[in-house]
Amino acid sequence: MRLRRIDLKLVRLPLVRPFRTSSSVKDHLAHIVVRVESDDGLVGWGECASPSDPYYCPETTETCWHLLRDFLGPLVLGREWEAIDDLTAFYRLVKGNNFAKAGLEMACCDLLARAEGVPLAAFLGGVRPRIASGVSLGIEDDTAALLDTIERHLSSGYKRIKLKIGPGRDVEVVREVRRAYPDILLQVDANSAYTLNDIDLLRALDEFDLLLIEQPLAHDDIIDHARLQAALRTPVCLDESIHSEADARKALELDACRVINIKVSRVGGLMEARRIHDLCFTRGVPVWCGGMHEFGIGRAANVAVCSLPGFVFPGDVSGSDKYYLQDLVDPPVLAHDGYVTVPTGPGLGHEPIEDRIVSNTRREVTLEAGVA
């Protein structure tokens, strides 16, 4: 395989409602859609779902654009490769920048899966025909409004609720949600809003029988998380701290977490996501698939990842209608009664709608092999 052309498109879509975490509020999102084309005219699609600001991780949309246009694209264009690991080897000197890498790698996985005529899920080794879907709910100041939102998602069939928490909106909010819904699968995500000084507060969550508490401490820590895990009954789940299979291995060796949130973007692509899955699967550690409010392209890739056998908890892979009025792919990625069907067509199994991509594109650049 050889790539002759890469198109980067900055696509902006409005959100159905604003999303708030412990660090930001958003009412629209812009992601980089990556289209790759091979010498023989085959096409693959990927999505770089970086936040626009550096509050979740150090990358931003603009750093991804820079890396893709000035480094990753030029490093892979026109070079011969067979497997995805050969392709990623071309940019192995590029440190970090995993969201940027993931967008390009996803497009190449889609390309290769289409070339082989297999669904992306099968290409990765997926086994499930459908995946259980959970929702991630932003922080709301008003608990009654939050309970309404939860009710709406449970009645449409979603299998698990994740609540964003932060100082001032934590133990008492969870207490009220648990009182209203004693039996649901419930978990919380702090996005690094606490420190070890908050151990007593975090221990107070133990009484609510949560599936897990996600990333309570610093985004780059695993040592303090190990100290925290030793003090909690609730399993700690790492999100921000895990960028690779090596990080996952170290976190598990330290008992810094007992569950891992695997995000394709954060770990630099589908192959690394699978490696982390395989490590955890071998060790009997449950994993689940996190999201970055993906448009349909990245969302379809998440669905494929969730079909791997070790993804035992429902993921943050809801229907795209939770976030967007219109998806970028046909058919749209949707949940029915809390399940998303794993598509059986080649590659992502959802066709990007080129007109819709064009009409929402704010900026684009084309890179071609042999053109400086």
Which residues lie near ligand OSB (CB under 6 A)? 56, 136, 189, 191, 239, 290-293, 316, 318
- Class of residue 345 by CB neighbours under 10 A (exposed 0-12, middle 13-18, buried 19+): middle
Q: Which residue number, 36 or 328, has a Cβ lying nearer to ligand OSB?
A: 328
Q: Is 245 helix (H, G, I), strand (E, B) or coil?
A: helix
Residues touching Mg ion, count (CB under 5 A): 3
Q: Which residue number, 21 or 360, has a Cβ lying nearer to ligand OSB?
A: 21
If you ran DSSP here, which 8-state letter would residue 264 be given? T
Q: What is the DSSP string of 37-62?
A: EETTS-EEEEEE---SSTTSSS--HH
Q: Is 189 in the site for Mg ion (CB under 5 A)?
A: yes
Q: Which residue number, 290 or 310, has a Cβ lying nearer to ligand OSB?
A: 290
Question: Which of ligand OSB, Mg ion, none sits in contact with 88, Cβ below 5 to 8 A by type?
Answer: none
DSSP H/E element including 3:
strand 3-20
- Sketch the per residue contact string, 146 through 185, with Mg ion: x for CB under 5 A, - otherwise: ----------------------------------------
Question: Which of ligand OSB, Mg ion, none sits in contact with 103, Cβ below 5 to 8 A by type?
Answer: none
Question: Which of Mg ion, ligand OSB, none sits in contact with 307, Cβ below 5 to 8 A by type?
Answer: none
Question: Which of ligand OSB, Mg ion, none sits in contact with 59, Cβ below 5 to 8 A by type?
Answer: none
Closest CB 144 distance from ligand OSB, rounded Å: 22
The residue written with tokens 């982390």 in the block is 276
Q: Which residue number, 37 or 47, has a Cβ lying nearer to ligand OSB?
A: 47
The answer to whether 63 and 125 have CB atoms below 8 angstroms apart is no
The answer to whether 274 and 125 have CB atoms below 8 angstroms apart is yes
Q: Is 239 in the site for Mg ion (CB under 5 A)?
A: yes
**Candidates 101, 162, 164, 322; catalytic one:** 164
CA distance 154 to 342: 21
The residue written with tokens 């550096």 in the block is 54
**Candidates 101, 162, 263, 322; catalytic one:** 263
Closest CB 322 distance from Mg ion, rounded Å: 16
Closest CB 293 distance from ligand OSB, rounded Å: 4
Question: Which of Mg ion, ligand OSB, none sits in contact with 313, Cβ below 5 to 8 A by type?
Answer: none
CA distance 369 to 217: 44
Residue type, 92: R
If you ran DSSP here, which 8-state letter would residue 347 be given? B
Cis bond upstream, residue 352 (ω within 30): no
Q: Which residue number, 315 or 343, has a Cβ lying nearer to Mg ion?
A: 315
Question: Which of Mg ion, ligand OSB, none sits in contact with 269, Cβ below 5 to 8 A by type?
Answer: none
Q: Which residue number, 73 or 338, has a Cβ lying nearer to ligand OSB?
A: 338
Q: Which residue number, 277 or 293, has a Cβ lying nearer to Mg ion?
A: 293
Q: Is 37 in the site for Mg ion (CB under 5 A)?
A: no
- Sketch the per residue contact string, 202 through 231, with Mg ion: x for CB under 5 A, - otherwise: ------------x-----------------
CA distance 364 to 30: 13
The answer to whether 288 and 313 have CB atoms below 8 angstroms apart is yes
Q: Which stretch binds Mg ion (CB under 5 A): 24-32, 102-110, 115-123, 234-242?
A: 234-242
The number of C-alpha atoms within 13 Å of 113 and in the hemisphere containing its C-beta is 29
**Cα→Cα distances 132→149, 160, 291, 303, 311, Å:** 19, 9, 14, 10, 10
Q: Is 9 a catalytic residue?
A: no
Q: What is the DSSP string of 193-227?
A: ---GGGHHHHHGGGGG--S-EE--S-TT-SHHHHH
> Quick one: which of 190, 192, 235 has its CA closest to 210?
235
Question: Which of Mg ion, ligand OSB, none sits in contact with 291, Cβ below 5 to 8 A by type?
Answer: ligand OSB
Q: Is 164 a catalytic residue?
A: yes
Closest CB 239 distance from Mg ion, rounded Å: 4
Closest CB 19 distance from Mg ion, rounded Å: 12
* Residues at the interface with Mg ion (CB under 5 A): 189, 214, 239
Catalytic site residues?
Answer: 164, 263
